[in-house]
Chain A
Amino acid sequence: MTTNGKPKFAMYWAASCGGCEIAVLNTHEKILDVDANFDVVFWPVAMDAKYKDVEAMEDGSILLTLFNGGIRNDENEHLAKLLRQKSKIMVAFGSCACEGCIPGLANLSPVGDIVHTAYNTITTDNPNEIYPRTSYDVPEGELHIPTLAKVLRPLEQVVDVDYFMPGCPPESHQIAAVIDLVIKVVKGEAELPPKGAVIGAGDSTVCDECPRARNVKLIKEFTRIQDIAPVDPDLCLLEQGIPCNGPATRSGCMARCPGVGAQCIGCYGPAEGVMDYGARLITAFSSVIDATEPEEIDRILDGIPDPTGQVYRFNLAGSLLKANRDAWKVK
């Protein structure tokens, strides 16, 4: 508690796109509840604060930290550990923090290639191939910039996490519900869910919330959605040969994408009980293929040009194989 008696709130972005922060601001007037009920002590996107302010806080003195973004460099890691130490409740907020998300796809490439692509491609004006140094001496002293880690890790692979809030970004109505819940807990009107729970989402699959009709239709071809015209507005997309990630993806978004004619790409992460997201999708996609001969099955599978990216678009870093053994070694 602070001098004004309110519990402390923090939000931080590590390797992230900023969308999660915008999603919180998108809760509209709900954001005023945060201000009314919490003392916001650290939230770089919304207010000025220094790392040393956080370092000076007592351990466990922040009630709630929403941590978004994955751990891609040593600064991310430092802040994850620092905020863990200072916070009672640490929430992995959004797909990047929960399972690596799009930035986690970079785990398929050596870090040197990533840096090279960033600093030396056709769209980059860098004729002398100048790359950043992680430390540099200037008259005022030594300067440091954060050093890239070999892989991007979800928050849980670095520190202990209390709750997981999936989504890229989490839906605003889900964020509002979670904020409401925490406020009720603070007032003694509700209890926190068990540690490790997934909050702000459902416990079944996107298919369960999807308005499209499912039959047992089998397909002879996978196609990209933009190559089908017209897409049947009422029939399950998978049954139209469009790889839809709904069957493996956690519910909670109200099937936002298939509801408006786009396939689910899986941003709410693995559904309850799914140990490996990609494996579940392999099973789901295989089940609609109408063929028994290996050659024909292979021809149908050719319709999914990047199967690894398709089945692990959000979950590569959080998958069973974590895409890179090095990720397992560091915690």
Chain B
Amino acid sequence: MTDQFEPTIIGFTCNWCSYRASDLAGTARMKYAPNVRLIRLMCSGRLDPTFVLRALSEGADGVMITGCHPGECHYIEQNYKALRRFLLLRRVLTGLGIEPGRVKLVWASAAEGARFASETTTFVEEIRKLGPLNWGKDDDGPQTADDGKSSIVHGQEMEVPA
């Protein structure tokens, strides 16, 4: 028994390909990391970046977005929308001090159960390496505010000359 960190990961899958891929992985009893909670969308194009931010703000350590391969989207080209949003979102997260690797985009067709399983396992390992999402911290000492007062404070205090 080790107390290794088990990340919480939210997965957004599209109904037509990647959710079926996960289904296939399930029915074929492929083994993969159990850390991902899947949420089915009709299409990866439905992926509002708000969902990702919401997941991270509510305690997810990583978010996996999956969709059909380019050119194979059930709604023609909505997965390209997902791709563009994903690339911009990753830049914004970087600016916020969140490792961009916490959000991943995977293309998986309905037949690719094995791919879905292995990508999931890989992602869980990547997030495990990153550790819990614990961003926005800096190192200027303990900063509690349990007494209801504002937390500190100036990094340094210096003598005021006489």
Contacts and interface: CB of A to CB of B under 8 A. Distances in A.
Interface of A: 71, 73-74, 77, 108, 110-113, 115-116, 128-134, 136, 147-150, 275-276, 278-280, 282-283, 285-287, 289, 291-292, 294, 297-298, 301, 304, 306-309, 311-312, 319-326, 329-330
A150 B143 contact: yes
B53 A321 contact: yes
B160 A133 contact: yes
A112 B140 contact: yes
A116 B140 CA distance: 13
B39 interface: no
A116 B153 CA distance: 12
Nearest to B157: A133
A212 B1 CA distance: 64
B83 interface: yes
B143 A326 contact: yes
27 contacts: A71-B150, A73-B150, A74-B149, A108-B95, A110-B138, A110-B140, A112-B138, A115-B155, A130-B160, A131-B154, A132-B154, A133-B160, A136-B160, A147-B153, A150-B143, A150-B153, A276-B54, A282-B49, A282-B92, A289-B84, A291-B84, A292-B70, A297-B83, A309-B95, A311-B92, A320-B50, A325-B135
A131 B81 contact: no
B32 interface: no
Interface string B44-74: 0000111011101100000000000010000
Interface in B84-111: 84-85, 87-89, 91-92, 94-98
B152 interface: yes
A88 B85 CA distance: 43
Interface of B: 48-50, 52-54, 56-57, 70, 77, 80-81, 83-85, 87-89, 91-92, 94-98, 134-140, 143, 145, 148-161
A73 B151 CA distance: 9
B150 A149 contact: yes
Given A149-B150, A282-B92, A297 B159 contact: no
B14 to A, nearest CB: 17
Contact of A321 (B57, B87, B88, B151): B57
Contacts of B134: 325
A320 B140 contact: no
Contact of B154 (A115, A129, A326): A115
Contacts of A276: 49-50, 53-54
Contacts of B140: 110-112
Contact of A297 (B57, B87, B145, B151): B87
Given A292-B80, A320-B57, A321-B57, A147 B89 contact: no
Given A108-B97, A148-B154, 19 more contacts: A73-B150, A111-B155, A129-B156, A131-B154, A132-B154, A132-B157, A150-B153, A275-B54, A282-B49, A285-B88, A304-B91, A308-B91, A309-B95, A312-B92, A321-B53, A321-B98, A323-B136, A325-B137, A326-B137
